[in-house]
Structure 1
Amino acid sequence: MNTKAVVAACLFAALNICTLSARAEAQVTPDTYTYGTHLDIKKVISMKQDAAPSCGIVNAQLTYLDSGNKTQVLDYRKFADGCNDDN
């Protein structure tokens, strides 16, 4: 087997692994945060929020691994990042 074939096979395998992990995250049903919700966060994977042109309340989503290494998704509401400079 030549070097190009080995490199191509490795690249193909890496892309498949990334695709499988993305599909696994897409199948997780998000929970909605309420006051008193117990959070078991071992590692934060991603944080997203709706685009907001200025300060205000926006919808946000936290994707994380729990102590059992299971992917969890949590929907919540927060002040937009544009509010950080406001009093």
Structure 2
Amino acid sequence: MKSLLVLALVGVSSFALADEINTASAQPVVQQYDYSTNLDIAKVISLSTIPNVCEVVPATMVYEDHQGQRHTLEYRAMGNGCTNG
């Protein structure tokens, strides 16, 4: 009886581990942009909102390339709160 219980626990834990692996692989990889990054943007899916501050802030763009793959790109942008006068 104990061996059946151990076998059942091993089976359940292996399913839980497989689910964690699938969840981790489903998370999109966030690519950090720099000037040498070669971009292939066919369609922009979404852009993060740039805050109303006068400083450089992180921003994110999700886009689709010409092969239909989705990418998430993180870059730095100047906030919208600066005035020239």
2:56 aligned partner = 57
Q: How many corresponding residue pairs?
A: 61
Q: Which ranges in structure 2 are unaligned for 5 or more consecutive residues?
A: 1-25
TM-score (norm 1): 0.60
Higher Cα Rg: structure 1 or 2?
A: 2
Query: Are the equivalent residues in 2 in contact too, given 1:46–1:62 (CA < 8 A)?
Result: yes
2:21 aligned partner = none
- Hey, which bits of structure 1, 4+ residues long, moved more than 6 A? none
Percent identity between the aligned chains? 37
1:70 aligned partner = 69
Q: 1:63-85: CA deviations, max 9, x gaps?
A: 000011111000000101223x4
Q: Which ranges in structure 1 are unaligned for 5 or more consecutive residues?
A: 1-25
TM-score (norm 2): 0.61
1:86 aligned partner = 84
Aligned-pair CA distance for 1:50: 5.6
